[in-house]
């Protein structure tokens, strides 16, 4: 008899499926990226449809059975690159981990460093001069627009591809000072397709710059 797909999964099963920690799954539930409920015994159960939608959004095949076998789509087989560096700045831990997860699925060889606010991002950028910066807009101590204006004032960072992500509206972002010219913007929640398109443009831009030198 054919097995019926499970209606829900434990946090441990989801963690094994997505190759992340149980704590990361729990944070994604708290942030609303995955839908879940608690059993009478207090254990979290992840809704199967929510998990399937999450996997599809991150570029993986939908679940076909409860054995949780890991599969990878053909489009994830990418041409080798020279391991660019990426700095991800976001004060929300769940969002940082989600962006990190998507980057790992799309560009497994890229080096990723995380920062919790604009000041930490500037320090990370000063240490390693990344090829790509992905930053939230609203952060404590130094928000995204202020941090970006500081970066754009330095010619050394002119070749860096920058993506701003936020759940705030364009009007709210303008009230915070707006985004400098040349900075890409994608609303949250960040999808795999949108991020992949930005990364492809970043690679093309870097290749064109190197060819012109």
How, if at all, do strands 184-187 and 161-166 pair? parallel
Per-residue pLDDT tens for 1-57?
444 446 889 988 888 888 888 888 888 998 888 999 888 777 889 998 888 888 877
Looking at residues 73-82, what average pLDDT do you find? 40
pLDDT for 2: 42
Residues 45 and 13: their CA atoms lie apart, in Å, by 10
Tell me which residue has tokens 């303008």: 174
Residue 206 pLDDT class (50, 70, 90 cuts): low
What's the whole-number average pLDDT of the chain?
81
Does 209 score more than 70 pLDDT?
Answer: no
| Structural domains of the chain, with CATH | 8-74 (1.10.1660.10), 78-212 (3.40.50.2300)
CA dist 30 and 67 (Å) reads: 25
Note if the pTM is more than 0.75.
Answer: no
Residue range 161-183, pLDDT digits in tens:
999 999 988 888 888 788 988 89
Question: Closest Cα partner for 158 from 134, 181, 138?
Answer: 181
pLDDT over threshold 50, residue 68: no
**Could you tell me which residues come within 8 angstroms of residue 73 by beta carbon, excluding any fewer than 6 positions away?**
59, 60, 61
Quick one: pLDDT at residue 207?
60
pLDDT > 90 fraction of the chain, expressed in percent and rounded: 37
Would the pLDDT of 213 be above 50?
A: no
Phi, psi (5° rounding) for residue 129? Answer: 50, 70
For residue 112, give the DSSP letter. Answer: E
Residue 148 banded pLDDT, cuts 50, 70, 90: very high
Residue that has been written with the tokens 């919790």 in this structure: 116
Distance, CA of 10 to CA of 67 (rounded, Å): 12
Q: Angle, to 10 degrees, between the axis of helix 144-152 and the axis of helix 118-128?
A: 30
3-state secondary structure of 133: strand
pLDDT band at 72 (very low <50, low <70, confident <90, very high): very low
């Amino acid at each position: 008899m054919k097995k019926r797909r499970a209606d829900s999964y434990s946090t441990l099963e989801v963690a094994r499926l997505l190759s992340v920690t149980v704590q990361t799954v729990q944070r994604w539930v708290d942030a609303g990226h995955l839908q879940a409920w608690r059993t009478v015994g207090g254990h979290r159960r992840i809704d199967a449809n929510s998990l399937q939608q999450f996997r599809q959004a991150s570029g993986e095949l939908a679940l076909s059975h409860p054995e949780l076998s890991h599969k990878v789509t053909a489009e994830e087989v990418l041409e080798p690159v020279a391991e660019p560096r990426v700095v991800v700045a976001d004060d929300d831990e769940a969002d940082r981990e989600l962006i990190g997860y998507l980057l790992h699925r799309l560009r497994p060889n890229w080096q990723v460093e995380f920062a919790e606010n604009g000041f930490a991002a500037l320090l990370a950028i000063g240490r390693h001069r990344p090829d790509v910066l992905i930053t939230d807009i609203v952060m404590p101590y130094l928000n995204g627009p202020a941090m970006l204006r500081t970066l754009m004032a330095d010619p050394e960072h002119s070749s860096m591809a920058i993506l701003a992500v936020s759940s705030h509206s364009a009007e709210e972002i303008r009230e915070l000072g707006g985004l400098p010219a040349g900075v890409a913007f994608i609303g949250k929640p960040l999808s795999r397709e949108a991020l992949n398109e930005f990364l492809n443009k970043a690679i093309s831009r870097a290749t064109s710059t190197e060819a012109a030198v």
